Structures are given as structure tokens and as C-alpha cells.
Chains A and B, each alone.
Chain A
Amino acid sequence: MSEAPRLLFVEGLNKSYGGVHAVRNVSFSVAPGEILALIGPNGAGKTTCFNMLNGQTPADSGRVVLRGQDISGKQPREVWRLGVGRTFQITATYASMTVRENVQVALISFQSKLYSMLNATQRFASDEADRLLGLVGMEGYAARPCGELAYGDLKRLELALALANDPKLLLMDEPTAGMAPRERVELMRMTAQIAREKEIGVLFTEHDMDVVFEHADRIIVLNRGSIISEGSPDQVRNDPQVKAVYLGDGLVFGQHAEAHA
């Protein structure tokens, strides 16, 4: 591999659930500021990979190295403290709080004020919270109850939460699923901009190939747990093996090819 500085280095990850080999010997790396897409049909093992990266799921074998430090086997909260932010495929936010309060909780944790009991949260880092909401285009939503948000807005809120610890690496599992096409492009444009500015490495999964080809610097294709292709968008687009997988799975490429034709 090249000598470029590596932010994340993953080597030989494996995970089985009973008889299902969900992830098979997966290795890759992410450079700072790089936007890497992990694609593959449903059930390919993308979410399982994410879960092993941030400690949600213990790997059967393999190593995860973040900025030179082996983080295999650490708890999600420890991985977070090392600078990894994450969004979930099925959103996980605090439904009983307002949008701003959601972000405030992340900031409270980041500033290690979790056990502060006699101050009011209302004023705690509310400017910083609003700034983060501004980054994802949600400044107008700060006082809205989170339980009332539409799904696309929840996804944006998740991004703001993931950015609260000034991460070095962002893990985004289907960040635009359930969004309208225009929202998708907008969200990924925002993400790309933030990533470039702050040199954040981004690893994301996505079904919309327009989004993937427009924003990813590099693409990894996963099928049945194994990496079947890796390279620049053009390389991957023209890989016959990839075409075969996607043609078998429901023509995600085909639709767009026709639309563009």
C-alpha cells in the first residue's frame, strides 16, 4: 500500500452469526480527509463492519487501528472518545428532548460534564450546539421536539451529533436513507465540505449510486461479507464483477444507466 498517512487501518475483520459469515476477512484503510464509500447489496455486511469499527459488536478476529492505536475490543464510548463519530442506519436520538438538547447532551459528554448536577443545561454550550446545527442546516429546528422530526431531519440531527466531538473519523451508515433525492445530495455535499475543511475521514454506506459516485473518493464493494472490488469510482463502475452483483440484486446501476442514456 502507499505511504500516505493512515487514519484508520482495518485488517482481517471476521464476524459470523451462527452459520452466516457476515463479514469475511475485510481489510482496508482510510486517510484523513478521504471519503470512502462502502457499498454492496442488502445483507452484504456493511452495518456489521461499522459495528465492529466502533466497538458495538466484537469481531471474531481482526484488528482495527485508529491513528496508530489498536482499538479492537474497546467499548463504543471509548472509541468515541478517541475521535470517532457515528450515525445509525436506524436513527438513534433522544426522542423526549428538543433538537438543541440532543446536541447539548453530546457536548456535555465531550466536555466531560456528565456528572455536573447543580448547573442548568439550558445555557450549557448552547451556542456551540446551534453552530453544529447550523453546519447541518438545522438552525431553524433547535427548539423543536425531536420526537416530531421527519425522518430526513433525524438523519441530519444524527450528523450533528456525530460531529459534536470534533471527530477525526465519521462513520455514516446509510445517512440518506429515507430522504428525498434533493435532500440526499444536499446532505452529502455538506458532509463532504465539512470533511475536506477539517480533514475528517468519512466512511459511509449508501444505496443511491448517484450520491456515491459524486462524492466518494474511493469505493469498496462488499458482497456476502467479502470485498469484491476496491478503487476509484471509475474503476469500480467498470468492474464486471461489481456489475454482476448489482445486476443480480435489482439493477441499481441499470436504473441510473437508463436514466442517463
Chain B
Amino acid sequence: MGFYFVQFLTGLASASALFLVASGLSIIFGVTRIVNFAHGAFYMLGAYIAFTLTERLSGAFGFWGGILIAALAVAVIGVIVEMLLLRRIYSSPELFQLLATFGLTLMVEDLVVLIWGPDDLLGRRAPGFRGAVEMFGQNVPSYDLFMIVLGPVVLGILWLLFHRTRWGILVRAATQDRDMVAALGVNQKWLFTSVFGAGVFLAALGGALQIPRDAVHHALDLRIIVEVFVVVVIGGLGSITGAFVAAVLVAELNAFGILILPKVSIVLVFLVMAVVLIVRPYGLFGKPEAVARKTPGLSVRPWAPFTRNERIACLVGVALAALLPLVAGNYALTVGAEIAIFVIFAASLHFLMSVGGLASFGHAAYFGLGAYGVAFLAKLAGLPMILCLALGPLLGLAGAAIFGFFAVQLSGVYFAMLTLAFAQIVWSIAFQWVPVTGGDNGILGIWPEQWAAGPARFYWLSLGIAVAVVSILRIIVFSPFGYALRGTRDSLLRSESIGIDAKRIQWTAFVIAGTAAGIGGSLFAYLKGSVFPDNIGIGLSVDALVMVLLGGVETVSGAVIGAIVFKALSIWLVSQTDWSKLILGGVIVLIVVAFPKGIVGMIETWRHSWRARSDAPSAKPAGLAASQPEGAE
């Protein structure tokens, strides 16, 4: 009994830290609509800086002062980031800010290693809370008790801030209706900056306060960010109370899950999140989105199939790629095959995101399922390679059919989070069902047969399949189905009122995208000769997102270029430098600022303005025309 009680208290203490970070993320999203991927990085920075300060400064004042100064310092960094980077990209397509903050996260991960080294750092104990208190014959660290009290106190302070100060009331108003605040003449720029600073402060404070409980290390950011996303989504975006309740729920699930259901402990929170989202699509305390989001696709010209010249250019490009084995060595060809596989993967996500408007944060699930499909067929059933390649992706199809059915009931960030949850569920099955999947050790020895063996042959195989998949996806984009799908993205209302079953269309698209990703995964299994749970991991899902956004989410096939650039750059950087994440992150941030429509989107804009130079001056800016007040007399 006592043991369970103490476990419960430990959970509550973790919940407080989780709540701090989650409330920050929630506030930022509520007002700026930015999904701040760098929130985990700010949390980690808070922990590192607090570690240094509390080591340098002595005494109780030094400790608590150090924690506070660390959080403030990181908040200042956050404000600088907002002013220099985010301000430039608020009007970019939805989720583009995610790419920017992802780039920042990569940079911070390398920077902390540069500054503090790669080893775990053990922080100082908190003065006044070094000991333990005995309860039910068990020792409870007194610092845990401090944290347990801190959570509700911060909740109270935030409540006062949001209900009793002018700034807080503005923030709440902006969370409900951003246009209204703009109309009231509030300086939106500074409101955004201050909100971002406050959110980052909370994240960094959460990180700093963790140092007496936990070692500081350079992977803290990813660990916390996923958990915090989960908390915010379960609680309901923009709801502080929701974040608190969800933080307690998640922390207790973690604390007890490991005792009661050790087999599925990792996946428990994701299961709960999936159930919450299916039952309450806007989280426990969230409200439906009041304001319609900006329609993507407005900043580029309407899509059109390739002209004859463009088709020739593509053929030439493919022909040149096919000639690569004449000049390149084995290593380059293996890299080439890997890039081709990621082109398939990125193109499949791009189809879902740009045509369907559905940004999946867990697309690696279907890539990984394709890979495991091949592994099962090849190793367990011993089927020939050609059959494995043909049937393996069906596992991706099946997964997409099941999960997609639930996912398409939601949209926007909630869709993203539900897909993330599903991917985590698949990942943990691969990780924990050891007798079948080999768990962490994966399944080894999946080698191509003679006809596809050798770097050149395998490269040609991958290239051929990539060209086929991308072409078919492109054909679908311009088919009646593709238009219907794009219609559901542009206007659900219109689609439903002209007889289109939007959910079914989106579900079909999800299955197509999942199958295509599975094809990529099948090839990947043969390329590597093995499959691992990593092939389903969050990292891979994020890579796919980055490739899509980098290429340009508002283009037809931008992901092809995005995948080539991103994959080539990251493989090359890893081989050249120890600080590849720092450089890659920097490049991503630069591209975000310099090419707000992605690489391909930018090229298309240039080409268009080049051609249209002689045309009549263009009509009204898009969007303005459509947002006139109703019934104006």
C-alpha cells in the first residue's frame, strides 16, 4: 500500500514539471498557432544553464537564484529567436514554423554537447530539500513534495495572470479569436513576442527544476517534447487547466504503467491519447477551432500537369540519374538508392499533406510496417524477393487502413497527434514483441536476390520504383479523386454540400499514402539487410515532414527535391563533420527564412514571375477577396 502511495507521489512530482513545460507550449500555440518543436530544446537549455549556475553560485540563494536566472536567460533567447526568426515566417504555410523550430532543435542538440560535453551531468541537491520524509514506512524525497506543491501554485499564478491582468486577458482573447485582437488595435507583434517569451520561460523553468531529480543530458529535448505534445493534446490545446489534468494523468500512467503492465508501459500514454482523441476530438478541455484556418495552396498558382517541356526535363533528369552507375562508385550508389527510397517515403507523405491537407506526424509507421512486412515474408515465410516486395507494402496498407479510419475523423494538430500516437503504438509493438519482431535486435539477414544484388542493380531497382511511385502519385493528384481530395482540404463545407463524403475520400488518401510509404520501407529493408524498431521511430517521421516542408508543401511534387536535398545533405554532413546536426539545423533555418515556400515553391514562383512579367498586373491578393464581411449592405 505504502509503496503504491509513494509511487503516486512520484508521479505527481513528475506531473508538475510536465505541466510547466506543457502549459508553455499550450500558451504559445493558443496565441501564435505555432507548434513549437523547439520547446524541448528550451527545456534542455534551461536544465544545462541551471546546472552551470547552481554549480557556480553557492548557498541556497545561489541555487534558487540560479534556477530562476537560467529560466530567464532562456526566455531571453526565446524572445530573440521569436524576433529574428519566427516573425519572418508567421504568414508561411501552417507547420512551416514547425520546420524552423525543428532546425533550431537540431542546432541546440549539438551546441549543448559542444559547450557541456557529451556526458550526463548530475546536478546539485536543492538546499532545504535534500532529505526524505517517511510516509507509510517509505521514504519520499522532500524535493518531490516541493514539486508536488509547486504544480498547483504555478497553475494558480497562471490563472491569476490570465484573469486579472490586461496582458492575460489579451492572451485569452487572442487564443479564442486572433482577428478580433488585431481589430482591437493591439500590437500583435509584441503580444506574440511576449507570449513566446513567457512560454519559453515556463519550459526552461521546468527543465531547471528537474536537475535535482534527474541527470542532464543532450537527449532530454526529444524525450520531453513527445510527452509534452501528448499532454497538451489530451488536455486540449490552449487550455491551461487541461494541461494540468493531462500532466497528472500522463505522469501517473507512467508511474503505474511500469508496475502493472510493464509490457505495454511505453505505449500506455499513447493508447490513452488515442482513445481521448477518438472520444473527445479536441482533448479533455479543448474547444473546437472557431476560426477557419488559412487554406493552403493560396500562395502558389493553381496546380497544373506538366507541360511538354517540363515532362522532357523530368525525363532527362531521370535518364541522368539512371546513368549514375557509369560514373559513381559503390558507396555513392548505395547512397543513391537510399535517397531514391526516401523520395518514395517523402512523396507519399507529401501526397497526404499537400493534396489532402493532412499532416501526419507518424508516417514512419507505414514505412516501418512495409519493412517488417518484407522481413516476415522473407525470413519467416521464405518467399522470393519479388513476392516480398509486392506483398510487404500490404502490411503498410493494412496499418493505414486501420489507423487512418480513426485519424481522418480529426484534422489539424489533433490529426497530427493521433497519427503520432498510432506510430508510437506500432513502434512499441515492434520493440516489445520480441519473439516475433526480435525487439531491439531487429530482424537481420534480409538480402536481395542475385538479380537485384550489387550496388548498381539495387540502385536501378530503387530508382525505377521511385519513378513509378512518384509518377502514379502525380497522376492521382490530377485525377478526379485528386481533385475531390484537394476539395476536402480547401472547403469541407463545399465538399459535403456537393455530395462528397469527405472522410471517406481522406481515408482512401491515407491508405494510398500508407501503401506508398510501405513500398519505400520494403526497399529499405533490402537496402539495409535488416529491420529495426527505428524504422518506425519518431525521428524518421520527423525526417519525412522536414523533407516535405523543405521541398514545398504547396507544390505538387516538391517532396522529391526536398528528399534529395535533405538526405544528400545529411548523409554528406555526417561523413564530413562531427557537428552535422548543428550545420543541418542551421541550413534548415536559413532555408526557412530564405525560401518561405520551400525550395520547389520558390522556384515555381520565380518561373511564374519571369513568365508573367509582360502580363497584366495581377488581381487582388488571394484571400482578401474571400474574406469580405457577410451581408454587407
Q: Does B316 lie at the interface of the complex (its beta carbon under 8 Å from any beta carbon of A)?
A: no
Contact of A154 among B479, B619, B625 (CB under 8 A): B625
* Least Cβ–Cβ distance between B297 and chain A, in angstroms: 3
CB-CB under 8 A from A241, the residues of chain B are none
Contact of B498 among A106, A122, A147, A177 (CB under 8 A): A106
Interface size on B, residues (CB 8 A): 44
Q: Does A224 lie at the interface of the complex (its beta carbon under 8 Å from any beta carbon of B)?
A: no
Contact of A147 among B499, B500, B626, B628 (CB under 8 A): B626
* Least Cβ–Cβ distance between A105 and chain B, in angstroms: 5
One of B47-55, B266-274, B298-306, B369-377 at the interface: B298-306
CB-CB under 8 A from A117, the residues of chain B are 475-476, 479-482
Within 8 A of B (CB), among A138-157: 144-151, 154
CB-CB under 8 A from B483, the residues of chain A are 97, 101, 104-105, 108, 121
CB-CB under 8 A from B620, the residues of chain A are 148, 150
The answer to whether B481 and A114 have CB atoms under 8 Å apart is yes
Known: A88-B493, A105-B498. Contact between A94 and B486, CB under 8 A? yes
The answer to whether A148 and B479 have CB atoms under 8 Å apart is no
The answer to whether A95 and B622 have CB atoms under 8 Å apart is yes
Q: Does B623 lie at the interface of the complex (its beta carbon under 8 Å from any beta carbon of A)?
A: yes
Could you tell me the distance between the alpha carbons of A109 and B483 in the complex, rounded to whole angstroms? 10
* Least Cβ–Cβ distance between A207 and chain B, in angstroms: 6
The answer to whether B478 and A147 have CB atoms under 8 Å apart is no
Within 8 A of B (CB), among A45-64: 54, 56
Contact of A151 among B301, B484, B628 (CB under 8 A): B628
Contact of A116 among B481, B498, B622 (CB under 8 A): B481
Could you tell me the distance between the alpha carbons of A80 and B498 in the complex, rounded to whole angstroms? 6
Known: A118-B479, A148-B618, A174-B630. Contact between A96 and B498, CB under 8 A? no
Q: Does B449 lie at the interface of the complex (its beta carbon under 8 Å from any beta carbon of A)?
A: no
Could you tell me the distance between the alpha carbons of A108 and B631 in the complex, rounded to whole angstroms? 31
CB-CB under 8 A from A98, the residues of chain B are 302
* Least Cβ–Cβ distance between A3 and chain B, in angstroms: 32
Contact of A109 among B297, B475, B484, B486 (CB under 8 A): B484
Q: Does A220 lie at the interface of the complex (its beta carbon under 8 Å from any beta carbon of B)?
A: no
* Least Cβ–Cβ distance between A255 and chain B, in angstroms: 10
* Least Cβ–Cβ distance between B350 and chain A, in angstroms: 15
* Least Cβ–Cβ distance between A188 and chain B, in angstroms: 16
Q: Does B254 lie at the interface of the complex (its beta carbon under 8 Å from any beta carbon of A)?
A: no
Per DSSP, chain A at the interface is loop
Q: Does A69 lie at the interface of the complex (its beta carbon under 8 Å from any beta carbon of B)?
A: no
Q: What is the chain B residue whose CB lies nearest that of A164? A: B498
Could you tell me the distance between the alpha carbons of A77 and B625 in the complex, rounded to whole angstroms? 27
Could you tell me the distance between the alpha carbons of A131 and B484 in the complex, rounded to whole angstroms? 21
Within 8 A of A (CB), among B484-523: 484, 486-487, 489-491, 493-494, 496-501, 505, 508
Known: A80-B499, A114-B480. Contact between A122 and B305, CB under 8 A? yes
CB-CB under 8 A from B498, the residues of chain A are 77, 80, 105-106, 109-110, 161, 164-165
Q: Does B310 lie at the interface of the complex (its beta carbon under 8 Å from any beta carbon of A)?
A: no
Q: Does A93 lie at the interface of the complex (its beta carbon under 8 Å from any beta carbon of B)?
A: yes
Contact of B631 among A89, A105, A161 (CB under 8 A): A89
Could you tell me the distance between the alpha carbons of A80 and B479 in the complex, rounded to whole angstroms? 23
* Least Cβ–Cβ distance between B502 and chain A, in angstroms: 8
Q: Does A76 lie at the interface of the complex (its beta carbon under 8 Å from any beta carbon of B)?
A: yes
Q: What is the chain A residue whose CB lies nearest that of B629? A: A178
The answer to whether A96 and B500 have CB atoms under 8 Å apart is no
Q: Does A253 lie at the interface of the complex (its beta carbon under 8 Å from any beta carbon of B)?
A: no
Contact of A96 among B303, B305, B497 (CB under 8 A): B303
Q: Does B633 lie at the interface of the complex (its beta carbon under 8 Å from any beta carbon of A)?
A: yes
The answer to whether A108 and B480 have CB atoms under 8 Å apart is yes
Could you tell me the distance between the alpha carbons of A106 and B499 in the complex, rounded to whole angstroms? 8
Could you tell me the distance between the alpha carbons of A110 and B286 in the complex, rounded to whole angstroms? 37
Could you tell me the distance between the alpha carbons of A93 and B499 in the complex, rounded to whole angstroms? 14
19 pairs across A/B with beta carbons < 8 Å? A75-B496, A86-B497, A88-B497, A95-B298, A95-B623, A96-B298, A97-B487, A108-B480, A109-B498, A109-B500, A114-B505, A118-B476, A120-B305, A145-B622, A147-B622, A147-B625, A148-B622, A149-B625, A207-B633
Q: 6 tightest A-B contacts by CB?
A: A96-B297, A147-B622, A92-B494, A94-B490, A148-B619, A80-B499
Binding site for A on B (CB under 8 A): 295-298, 301-303, 305, 475-476, 478-484, 486-487, 489-491, 493-494, 496-501, 505, 508, 618-620, 622-623, 625-626, 628, 630-633
